[in-house]
Chains A and B, each alone.
Chain A
Amino acid sequence: MEFKNFAIAISQTKVARFADDLAAGKIMSTICKKCGKRYYPPRSDCSSCMTSEMEWKPMSGEGKLVTFTKVHVPPEHFALRQPLMPFSSVLFEPCPIGILEAEEGLRIMGWMPKIDLKRIKIGMKMKASPQILPDGKVTIVLEPI
């Protein structure tokens, strides 16, 4: 799968398999083989020890919500009818987004399609999971646990 199916704008990167992993149901991080520093989003190079020997490791994706919002005035890409903004209704009800603090303090951004804005509380326990959209694109959702 092209990385663009996740990232929208670019396809060419050394970590392009991230999109394939999402499609296979895994949110992947990378770990530096030399110094052990773990990265999410994944990187092909370690800025801590300046080496490029990395290995892939799946995230459990469980953690707590550290902040959120709901963007009512979307950027052009998401404002167009095609492709539709993920999880928006026909009448255009935008979907909240949030940042989850998962294992080792790594934070994952994701859409929150299954929770009403009024029920969202910072600190609530959530899990991040990959999601395949009807148009074949891949993304990440956060759901309460």
Chain B
Amino acid sequence: MKRVAIVGVGHGKFGVRSDASLRELTFEAVKACLDDAGVSLKEVESMVTGIAGDEFSIALQPSAQVHDYIGFHPKPNFRVEGACATGSMALRTGWMNVASGLADLVLVVGGEKMTEVPTSVATDIMGRGGDATWEYPFGTTFPGYYAMIANAHMAEYGTTEEQMALVAVKNHYYGSLNPFAHMQKKIDLEKALTSFTVAHPLKLFDCSLITDGAAAVLLASEERAKGISKKPVWMVGLALGTDTMRITERESLTSIMASREAAKVAYKMAGIGPADIDVATVHDCFTIAEIVAYEDLGFCEKGEGGKLIEAKETYVSGKIPVNVDGGLKSKGHPLGATGVSMAIEITKQLRGEAGERQVKNAEIGLSHNVGGTGQVVAIHIFRRE
């Protein structure tokens, strides 16, 4: 198996991008990525596109719009889908392409255009990311699913609404420092706690944003990476975990078991443990999801996630900085782009290019991306030389 490095990154502006279509959004990211790598598209051998929903893009094969618009034809383009984990699954597919020796230079693009449809329709589409046959008839929504996880976590471990709100305060603080973030606005605890209820006990500021955006990375084999990047970031641990379609059949309602499974495999492959991670991007689609991720990834003991944020240990200055790019919470969550955006943040951190948000001497980073209500989880571990 070949070693695989990220040699270029390109992040489009996330937000309500009423000015642009899906293909135009991805063009911004691809252009920035190729510029960053100093590579022309002609040199790229293959591409992988992560777009979660045909329903959002109102088209049957949105990935063809993307390869057509950047002028990639007639070379191969694969589309990958795994709800909110789509971007990380695309990255993993790109890694497989290079690791297997099939191609030496592969472009991975993630994008989603979510605001073309009304919010109620977007809520509907995402709600059917749970079991559309057996759970949706009870009016389940994405906030609804995570609200059920939150209530179970609160009952079992005494996690509080304040602790959840503190995740929002942190992520908005870092989002305010990220020029690509959807909501570059700091919030205080009171604002988070007094916002309206979306699904009890989750309030508006516990929820990530419905966002348009795209992100792209360029992957290279070791031989090819040498001529491109002075600061390659290596993908050294990858894992994909899965779990039941229905939340009702989960072994735990306070953990995402697919995260636990994937974390074990990824740490083993990288030959490290959770204490070795210098910086992480985790799937904070809701504030409770970030707290659960702390626990599932081993950054703290089970049930201690609320205390970890209370002690500010996940700030840049803390024991394990998490989502210091603003997270899905304030950077926004364009489904297909999210996983790729997570990898970009880690790459920038490991290259030492994160500016005000830089974690000092970061050497090893982790991204954690949950699809749906935990049906699929992709974890990647990155390392600089």
Contact = CB atoms under 8 A, between A and B. Distances in A.
Interface stretch (B192-200, B270-278, B363-371): B192-200
Interface string A123-142: 10000000000000001100
A67 to B, nearest CB: 4
Nearest to A69: B147
Given A72-B196, A72-B197, A107-B249, A67 B151 contact: yes
A5 B248 CA distance: 21
B120 interface: yes
A76 interface: yes
A97 B137 contact: no
Interface of A is mostly: mixed
Contacts of A140: 138
Contacts of A1: none
A36 interface: no
Which size bracket describes the interface of B in this complex?
A: 35 or more
A50 interface: no
Interface stretch (B20-28, B127-135, B174-182, B293-301): B127-135
B253 A71 contact: no
B138 A110 contact: yes
Contacts, number: 109
Interface string B221-251: 0000000000000000000000000111100
A122 B137 contact: no
B358 interface: no
B305 interface: no
B136 interface: yes
A101 B200 CA distance: 20
B49 interface: no
A129 B136 CA distance: 18
A73 B253 contact: no
Given A99-B148, A99-B248, A122-B155, A72 B199 contact: yes
A75 B136 CA distance: 9
A50 B152 CA distance: 33
Interface in B80-137: 118, 120-121, 123-124, 127-128, 132-137
Contacts of B118: 76
A71 B199 contact: yes
Contacts of A108: 248
Given A67-B149, A68-B151, A111 B138 contact: yes
A74 interface: yes
B155 A97 contact: no
Which size bracket describes the interface of A in this complex?
A: 35 or more
B137 A6 contact: yes
B139 A78 contact: yes
A59 interface: no
B133 A13 contact: yes
A35 interface: no
Contacts of B139: 71, 74-75, 78, 85-86, 94-95, 97, 111
A68 B253 CA distance: 11
A41 interface: yes
A118 to B, nearest CB: 10
B241 to A, nearest CB: 18
Nearest to A96: B200
Contact of B120 (A75, A107, A122): A75
A115 B135 CA distance: 20
B141 interface: yes
Interface of B: 118, 120-121, 123-124, 127-128, 132-141, 143-144, 147-149, 151-152, 155, 196-201, 246-249, 253
18 contacts: A7-B136, A7-B137, A9-B128, A67-B155, A69-B148, A69-B151, A70-B200, A71-B139, A73-B198, A74-B123, A76-B120, A76-B121, A76-B123, A79-B120, A109-B140, A109-B248, A111-B138, A123-B155
Shortest Cβ-Cβ A-B pairs, 10 listed? A69-B147, A75-B124, A76-B124, A107-B248, A122-B155, A67-B152, A76-B120, A75-B127, A67-B148, A70-B200
Given A72-B199, A108-B248, A109-B134, 4 more contacts: A10-B133, A73-B141, A109-B140, A122-B152
Interface of A: 6-10, 13, 41, 66-79, 85-86, 94-97, 99, 107-111, 117, 122-123, 139-140
